[in-house]
Structure 1
Amino acid sequence: MGNPPADAIELKNKGNEAFKKQDWAGAVAFYTQAIDKFDQEPSFYTNRAQANIKLESYGLAIIDADKAIEIDPNNVKAYYRRASANTAILHHREALRDWKLVVKKAPNDATAKLRMAETDKVVKRDAFLKAIEVEDAPSAAEGLDLEHMAVDPSYDGAKLEKEMTLEFIEDMIQRFKDGKKLARKYVFQIIISVMDLVKKEPTMVEVDVEEGHQITVCGDTHGQFFDLMNIFKLAGNPSEKNSFLFNGDFVDRGSWSCEIALTLYAYKMLYPTKFFLNRGNHETDDMNRMYGFEGECRAKYNDRVFKLFSESFSALPLATLIGGKYFVLHGGLFSDDKVSLDDVRKLDRFKQRQPGQAGLMMEMLWTDPQTEPGRGPSKRGVGLQFGPDITKRFCEDNKLEAIIRSHEVRMEGYEVEHGGRCITVFSAPNYCDSTNNKGAFIKIGPDYKLNFTKFDAVPHPNIKPMAYASNGIQGMI
């Protein structure tokens, strides 16, 4: 096998420097160059795997770990990386198998023992939940007597009657900024009201922008409440003439997911025909269990609040068509060229509450664009990737100007790809307090031109991202 040449080691060291500066993409580029010079050094692959994990390219991290293990079957770091990547994409059984191998090869590694025990618990919990799954489970709202539910005497905020008011939202937002919670009765009331509203909406909501109106399209906000407040400051607060569309991934990772979800839901209640919410891949139970939203709901409110949110997430529309020109969905396009907007319109999103591992719903929530033509395996290990020719064909067949999607960090907050027909917008700046990216949103007026605004992260109280996440995931941040 031999030792790597000096120029390959130098490239690896440059990759390490980029990694220390949190320039994950730069690190991947240097490690790739090192591999091009010498492809038999396992550390080049394990280092690139870790940078890919930071980029959420978990599928690529698994491929790198596989290669390192092929070169050196005793490489403990490679099993570590593969277990971490499989944990992130919820492949817990595969992760458990690798943690067991790590513990066998490094019996004194206390962290690996802890991760193995945590993963074992998750595998058993998932098996238990599957065993007790009921096809037509009663709603979590059943038996809740909101009319006679008392508000805790310690609550000192505005009262919510039957209708949402702007005054209530302003008071609620100030409470959240001050680190206070909402009365549980009002939390239940907001979620149940919005669940009833979105259940009546089609799977693809279709909206036009009238004269004197505009709509702001936002990407992932991921529990970054103080950055959401900055979006409203820059784009203007929601109103009858200032519509918003939040394109999924409101929750998880950031530690103010309850505050974001309640704020967005309250605005949906106030402006039901002017404020829109698409479902993202993080508005799903398995992601919420791992990435923090379930834990946060329990810590701030109770388990029933999470169950109600879960139920409401499964009722959210999957896409929005703006002016017949822009198809907005969280992930991206499909594995089959024959899929059309009509198929999306006809999709019965109530048939399955969770997106599963295949099918239209999964693809709408999980897929990503790639630069190469055609389709390819997903870099994140779930879904697939689609090229510029796929986007062009879909837009032409459906008479669209472009698709707008989110789901991925973009360093400038947005990116226009595929000859202008695929636009990614991401609205969580300095994602997870570590990525140094800008956030962005898109304003669309009656002329249907896209106007982009970029913005930086704003300060927030000293609570780290993933504060409520599963321990196995926390260790990867």
Structure 2
Amino acid sequence: MGSPHEDAAALKNKGNDAFKAQDWPAALDYYTRAIQLCDTEPSFYTNRAQAYYRRASANTSILKHREALRDWKLVVKKAPGDANARLRMTECERIIKRDAFLKAIEVEDAPSAAEGLDIEHMALESNYDGPKLGDAMTLEFVEDMIERFKNGKKLAKKYAFQIILAVMDIIKKEPTMVEHNVDDGSEITVCGDTHGQYFDLLNIFKLAGKPSEKNAFLFNGDFVDRGSWSTEIALLLYAYKWLYPNSFFLNRGNHETDDMNRMYGFEGECRAKYTERMFKLFSESFSMLPLATLIGKKYFVLHGGLFSDDKVTLDDVRKLNRFKQRQPGQAGLMMEMLWTDPQTAPGRGPSKRGVGLQFGPDVTKRFCENNGLEAIIRSHEVRMDGYEVEHDGRCITVFSAPNYCDSTSNKGAFIKIGPEYKLEYTKFDAVPHPNIKPMAYAANGLQ
């Protein structure tokens, strides 16, 4: 036992360790205890203020706005001159009021956004100069879309609605876990998050080959938000899904959800480029997307990761009724499939995100052995090389948005799997894009 100042310094060091580990509650506890022992040391207060700031930011990012607001108020009280903290506090208050309003007007079993949508008689915009879309998607139409979006043009609203409705008809018939075998002469490319980075998506198709019946693709969630070409990505992926329904697959990610879309840009982008109804129809379609894909009975591909209970099996995923609960919520199998992350330590631990959990190599090993798998493939996190193989080769993360948000300097990656079920990794750099910043359509407090 040292002097009060020495004991306080030791608590501060523990707080610093917790801060580095992003364990904000523990950091706040250590800094507060240090202050109680020695209330004259300024660094204790500044460190605690930073912990409040970081916890507020973390809660804001995972949409826990009431918890975030409490911390923003503390930050503003301790640092009244911090204009950014005051702005984020105000924005948090606005979002809480908006969410309360939306909840108040929420109607159970509300009619579909497609109800009353008269596609047949909907007129094309006068400036639309592309090919006509009939009752089936064509490669000509897809190729025109690609060029149209590259040149900053939009798709006719009639055709955008038509594409979403066609894909809804396809995916609602798919199981919660799609099962795909790679036939001789074919391969499948697994891609991670693309997050509205349209020009990097086109580079993926350049490097991996364009989708076809023999050149299958699986996009493992988080197609939208953050990047400012999310509508272009969503419409192009959907067009390919319509064109190649049996060889082009889409898993749902945690950003194919209403709350995330409201905060991180997709809703705002739909409104700016098309209509609010377009967003509502996309939202309905997102809730129909499969949650996982099993490739060759060897690779379980899902956006987030594994479960809080070792008893969960692939059969539980097969039986999961994804239509019963449109949004993943804060608990349950769907939430865990969209939000969890791997950790290096064995066992399970709290999530640094504040949602879901973290799972260790022993958890992955048991799941793979219990289900006869070689590995799980997941996305959900930036990796500096675009991918990472961990948990003794049984947990693979792939992330396909290089230089994420124009700021991370990471590479992107994708994985090719052929009929021999060997994994072939390709890394790639970001490509130039028009001068539109990420998060251009996001909620004000996150720009």
Task: Give the TM-score of the pair, scaled to structure 1.
Answer: 0.87
SS in 2 for 1:460: coil
Q: For residue 439 of structure 2, what is the amino acid of its counterpart?
A: M
Match of 2:438 in 1: 465
Supply the distance in 1 between the matched residues of 2:324 and 2:149 (Cα, whole angstroms).
35
> Residue deviations 1:254-298, cap 9 Å, x none?
111111111100000000111000000000011111111111111
Q: Could you say if the C-alpha distance between residues 62 and 262 of structure 1 is closer, same or farther in structure 2, counting changes exceeding 3 Å? A: farther
Match of 1:443 in 2: 416
8 Å Cα contact 2:24-2:51 kept in structure 1:
no
The alpha carbon displacement at 1:68 in A equals: 4.1
Q: Does 1:224 align with 2:187?
A: no
Match of 1:181 in 2: 154
The alpha carbon displacement at 1:65 in A equals: 5.0
Q: For residue 177 of structure 2, what is the amino acid of its counterpart?
A: M
Match of 2:207 in 1: 234
SS in 2 for 1:423: strand
Match of 2:253 in 1: 280
Supply the distance in 2 between the matched residues of 1:385 and 1:404 (Cα, whole angstroms).
15
SS in 1 for 2:413: strand
Supply the distance in 1 between the matched residues of 2:103 and 2:132 (Cα, whole angstroms).
40
8 Å Cα contact 2:15-2:28 kept in structure 1:
no
Match of 2:23 in 1: 60
Match of 2:306 in 1: 333
SS in 2 for 1:419: coil
8 Å Cα contact 2:15-2:27 kept in structure 1:
no
The alpha carbon displacement at 1:66 in A equals: 5.3
SS in 2 for 1:147: coil
SS in 2 for 1:454: strand
Match of 2:217 in 1: 244
> Residue deviations 1:174-233, cap 9 Å, x none?
011111111111111111111111001000000101111110000001111010000000
Superposed counterparts of 1:7-26, under 5 Å = none
Q: Does 1:116 align with 2:89?
A: yes
Q: Does 1:192 align with 2:155?
A: no
Match of 2:37 in 1: none
Q: For residue 433 of structure 1, what is the amino acid of its counterpart?
A: D
8 Å Cα contact 2:387-2:396 kept in structure 1:
yes
Supply the distance in 2 between the matched residues of 1:63 and 1:353 (Cα, whole angstroms).
34
8 Å Cα contact 1:164-1:269 kept in structure 2:
yes
SS in 1 for 2:23: helix
Q: For residue 382 of structure 2, what is the amino acid of its counterpart?
A: V
Q: Does 1:151 align with 2:124?
A: yes
Q: Does 1:40 align with 2:12?
A: yes
Q: Could you say if the C-alpha distance between residues 62 and 122 of structure 1 is closer, same or farther in structure 2, counting changes exceeding 3 Å? A: farther
Q: Could you say if the C-alpha distance between residues 224 and 62 of structure 1 is closer, same or farther in structure 2, counting changes exceeding 3 Å? A: farther
8 Å Cα contact 1:42-1:69 kept in structure 2:
no
Superposed counterparts of 1:86-125, under 5 Å = 86-125=59-98
Q: For residue 367 of structure 1, what is the amino acid of its counterpart?
A: T
8 Å Cα contact 1:65-1:82 kept in structure 2:
no
Q: For residue 465 of structure 1, what is the amino acid of its counterpart?
A: P
Supply the distance in 2 between the matched residues of 1:162 and 1:38 (Cα, whole angstroms).
70
Q: Could you say if the C-alpha distance between residues 63 and 135 of structure 1 is closer, same or farther in structure 2, counting changes exceeding 3 Å? A: farther
> Residue deviations 1:52-98, cap 9 Å, x none?
7xxxxxx6356545544554467543332221111011110011112
> Residue deviations 1:363-415, cap 9 Å, x none?
00011111111111112111011111111111111111111111111111111
8 Å Cα contact 2:124-2:156 kept in structure 1:
yes
Quick one: which of 417, 425, 431 aligns to 1:452?
425
The alpha carbon displacement at 1:128 in A equals: 1.9
Quick one: which of 298, 304, 309 aligns to 2:271?
298
Q: Which moved more, 1:96-105 or 1:303-312?
A: 96-105
8 Å Cα contact 2:403-2:429 kept in structure 1:
yes
Q: Could you say if the C-alpha distance between residues 149 and 401 of structure 1 is closer, same or farther in structure 2, counting changes exceeding 3 Å? A: same
Q: For residue 130 of structure 1, what is the amino acid of its counterpart?
A: K
Q: Could you say if the C-alpha distance between residues 102 and 209 of structure 1 is closer, same or farther in structure 2, counting changes exceeding 3 Å? A: same
Quick one: which of 109, 113, 130 aligns to 2:103?
130
Supply the distance in 2 between the matched residues of 1:182 and 1:67 (Cα, whole angstroms).
55
Supply the distance in 1 between the matched residues of 2:398 and 2:281 (Cα, whole angstroms).
28
Task: Give the TM-score of the pair, scaled to structure 2.
Answer: 0.93
Supply the distance in 1 between the matched residues of 2:146 and 2:14 (Cα, whole angstroms).
50
8 Å Cα contact 1:69-1:79 kept in structure 2:
no
Q: Does 1:213 align with 2:176?
A: no
Q: For residue 352 of structure 2, what is the amino acid of its counterpart?
A: K
Match of 1:323 in 2: 296
Supply the distance in 2 between the matched residues of 1:425 and 1:80 (Cα, whole angstroms).
30
Q: For residue 357 of structure 2, what is the amino acid of its counterpart?
A: L
Q: Which moved more, 1:276-285 or 1:155-164?
A: 155-164
SS in 2 for 1:244: strand
Q: Could you say if the C-alpha distance between residues 155 and 62 of structure 1 is closer, same or farther in structure 2, counting changes exceeding 3 Å? A: farther
Quick one: which of 219, 242, 262 aligns to 1:289?
262
Q: For residue 361 of structure 2, what is the amino acid of its counterpart?
A: P
8 Å Cα contact 1:430-1:438 kept in structure 2:
yes
Q: Could you say if the C-alpha distance between residues 156 and 170 of structure 1 is closer, same or farther in structure 2, counting changes exceeding 3 Å? A: same
Q: Which moved more, 1:370-379 or 1:315-324?
A: 370-379
8 Å Cα contact 2:133-2:159 kept in structure 1:
yes
Supply the distance in 2 between the matched residues of 1:168 and 1:248 (Cα, whole angstroms).
24
Q: For residue 345 of structure 2, what is the amino acid of its counterpart?
A: E
Match of 1:389 in 2: 362
SS in 1 for 2:442: coil
8 Å Cα contact 1:226-1:460 kept in structure 2:
yes
Q: Which moved more, 1:154-163 or 1:277-286?
A: 154-163
Q: Could you say if the C-alpha distance between residues 460 and 102 of structure 1 is closer, same or farther in structure 2, counting changes exceeding 3 Å? A: same
Supply the distance in 2 between the matched residues of 1:66 and 1:409 (Cα, whole angstroms).
30
The alpha carbon displacement at 1:38 in A equals: 5.9
> Residue deviations 1:120-161, cap 9 Å, x none?
111111122222222211100101000000001111122211
Match of 2:38 in 1: none
Q: Could you say if the C-alpha distance between residues 39 and 145 of structure 1 is closer, same or farther in structure 2, counting changes exceeding 3 Å? A: same
8 Å Cα contact 2:11-2:31 kept in structure 1:
no
Q: Could you say if the C-alpha distance between residues 63 and 147 of structure 1 is closer, same or farther in structure 2, counting changes exceeding 3 Å? A: farther
Supply the distance in 1 between the matched residues of 2:202 and 2:148 (Cα, whole angstroms).
13
> Residue deviations 1:26-67, cap 9 Å, x none?
xxxxxxxxx9x9652699579x56xx7xxxxxx635654554
Quick one: which of 256, 259, 267 aligns to 2:232?
259
Q: Tell me the matched-pair count.
A: 434
Match of 1:365 in 2: 338
Q: State the Cα RMSD in Å.
A: 2.1
